[in-house]
Amino acid sequence: MTTRQEQLARRVAARLDGGAAGGVTAGVERCLHEGESTSAHTYQPVTIALAGSVVSVATLAWNIYRDLQRVTPRPAPQVSASKIRLELAHSAGDEHPELDRVIAITLEELTATSEAND
């Protein structure tokens, strides 16, 4: 995962936590540093599932957005969201109930970042 993907995941987590460092932010950090020594904090399974979804969607959205930019400089968020959903449908497991919100926030953050860098 690239630094930009990590930054995107962190921004999405912060928005889901309402700007305060909360459970989703901590869960995303844990997911990003998986394999490294983590603190002994206990996390709610639902928070970890949401954090995992944030990291997965951020990574997937970044890759899809960059691929779409090869065709059009500013891909429509609806097209990106559709492609993300298609990719996620291929993966096994249950959807997190807030997945639509995670996708929407991720695309807002990704679009805002891309426009700021233009």
110: containing domain: 3-116
pLDDT at 39: 45
Answer whether 0.85 is exceeded by the pTM: no
Number of domains in the chain: 1
Lowest mean pLDDT among 24-33, 38-47, 81-90, 103-112: 38-47
**Mean local confidence (pLDDT), 2-25:** 84
Rg for the chain (alpha carbons), in Å? 14
Q: How confident is the model at residue 70 (pLDDT cuts 50, 70, 90)?
A: very high
**Mean local confidence (pLDDT), 66-82:** 89
56 in Cβ contact with 8 (< 8 Å):
no
On average, the pLDDT of the chain sits at 79
Q: Which residues contact 21 (CB under 8 A, 6 or more apart)?
A: 14
3-class SS string, 57-102: HHHHHHHHHHHHHCCCCCCCHHHHHHHHHHHHHHCCCCCCCCHHHH
Q: Which residues contact 101 (CB under 8 A, 6 or more apart)?
A: 16
35-49: per-residue pLDDT in tens? 444 444 445 666 777
